[in-house]
Amino acid sequence: MASLKIAIAQINCTVGDVAGNAGRILAAAQAAHALGADLLLTPELALCGYPPEDLLLRPDFYRACDRELAALAERLPLPAIVGHPVEIEKSRYNAASLLSAGRIAATYRKHRLPTYEVFDEARYFTTGTEPGVFVINGVRCGVAICADVWGHAPAAVAHAAGAEVLLVLNASPYHLHKQLTRHATLRQRVVETGLPAIYCNMVGGQDELVFDGASFALDAAGRLMHQLPAFAEALAIVELQDGQLLPGELAPPRKHESEADVYAALVLGVSDYLGKNGFPGVLLGLSGGIDSALTLAIAVDALGADKVRAVMMPSPWTAQMSLDDSREMVRRLGVQYDEIPIAAMMEQFAVALAPTFAPLGEKPAWDTTDENLQARIRGMLLMAISNRTGRLVLTTGNKSEMAVGYATLYGDMAGGFAVIKDVFKTFVYRLASYRNSLSEVIPENIITRAPSAELKPGQLDQDSLPPYAVLDAIIEAYMERDQSPREIIASGLPEADVRRVVTLLKRNEYKRRQAPPGIRVSRRAFGKDWRYPITSRYPDEWS
């Protein structure tokens, strides 16, 4: 069998930027050609970006992709397999085409259309049935697209059609430990077919999703021969000689891998959300607590200090420690910083509302109305600065808070992007410690002190919520693994806490529907892959 040098183009594509994505593919092809590659392999739907969602319902979207694909074919210096959508005889497909000698030489149509987690491809596409085997330099290359290799049949069909190597185009979004599953899944296809396999994955942020790249290649024995870096664009040459995949570069494993990967995903998600949407910078409310501190560190790492502005809005209940820690952190990071006390505004609201509240009877000494008013004043101030400067407000709430509604609508939930929306509070601490292991930007006091919203005297989060370790375990079991309350209690978690948390989680769906989008880093996040009704009387299984 002849030899074949395949270039993996791990590129950052933007949904809808068909011309720009074509330019990235062309640039990768030119670089690959200069390195002596025979073939370029691109990610799934690289031409239009992933996921295009309801753009795929527009006929003009397919026409634009067709035009750009044909133009790209004429300009490429070497054959390339390019992912793109296509409409054929009123049916629409998730496709991969071989562009060679200035034309579209062959097209493969994806067999397995996922409708789980964040995916909804059956809404848009028709299932392909024919094998995709493209001959390049005398080598029969079997083509598969992402979910195709998560089942047995498509790879087996390619093998039966004479494929000698399996080339897989992917737009596989990141979540914690996803790479281990990818390796294991593709290794299973390799074992079943005896074919070496090359896995090319997209990289970059797209709304709630982050694609981590981390493309790789396995030889016919299932051994890892190439491993590209994660969370960065990359180009690598994989050589196939007489049916054998030759060893190549292996990106080194990272220390604190879970924390490093999640942190990198959050940084890339913020960078691309801002960059791809054209915002000039961000601002956020800094409280002296760990959530806003972590969000600030991520924003600076993603955008640079010059594009980040922090605003401290102390109330009468803000501890001096919170002010001191916030001032120290912004000093370390070098970001623009403002302090806007809100005590006078709180008093003005109280005076204005007094006649309306009077018929309701004597006012309690303190209630959630007073707490929420503080949060809403702060949200209003941040949005005013956002309007004037054009900067996007980053919210700082975590997954634990979003689950149980420990957040204020139109207050601390007001903003454009929720950076740590899918990070449990217990993992927030791990991320903060990880970031400080690189360079100490978060004052240690912020990490070690007991968390508090500081909306009333002496307030601590744990006065209103179970301990975060218990809270997060219940949420993870109910929300990510779909366990019933009966099963969660049987696992050893306290029944009273389970009842309380599940009730709060269900009751606060209406809040989550109004929350800004945020970066998905878990197997199941509140957003694209959480679709529960607001109005529901399902009682759950308790016994």
Residues serving a catalytic function are: 44, 110, 146
In angstroms, the CA 275 to CA 8 distance is 25
The three-state DSSP-derived secondary structure of 197-240 is EEEEECEEEECCEEEEECCEEECCCCCEEEECCECCCEEEEEEE
Neighbour tally for 350: CB within 10 Å = 14
Please tell me the chain's helix, strand, coil percentages from 3-state DSSP, rounded to the nearest 5: 40, 20, 40
Sign of the Cα pseudo-torsion (120, 123, 124, 128, in order): positive
In angstroms, the CA 118 to CA 178 distance is 14
Convert 278-315 to b/e letters by CB count within 10 Å (16 or more is b).
ebebbbbbbbbbbbbbbbbbbbbbbbeeebbbbbbbbb
Of 482, 303, 311, the residue nearest 385 (C-alpha): 311
Contact residues for 264 (Cβ-Cβ < 8 A; gap 6+) = 212, 230, 231
In angstroms, the CA 249 to CA 219 distance is 14
For residue 489, what are its two tokens? 């209690």
In angstroms, the CA 490 to CA 488 distance is 5
Neighbour tally for 204: CB within 10 Å = 27
In angstroms, the CA 371 to CA 369 distance is 5
Of 165, 125, 162, 124, the residue nearest 144 (C-alpha): 165
Sheet holding 216-218, edge to edge: 133-136, 139-145, 165-170, 197-201, 216-218, 224-227
Sign of the Cα pseudo-torsion (86, 88, 94, 98, in order): negative
Of 41, 478, 419, 71, the residue nearest 236 (C-alpha): 41
For residue 401, what are its two tokens? 């808070």
In angstroms, the CA 286 to CA 274 distance is 20
Q: Are 142 and 166 in contact (CB under 8 A)?
A: yes
Q: Residue 139: enclosing H or E segment and its boundaries?
A: strand 139-145
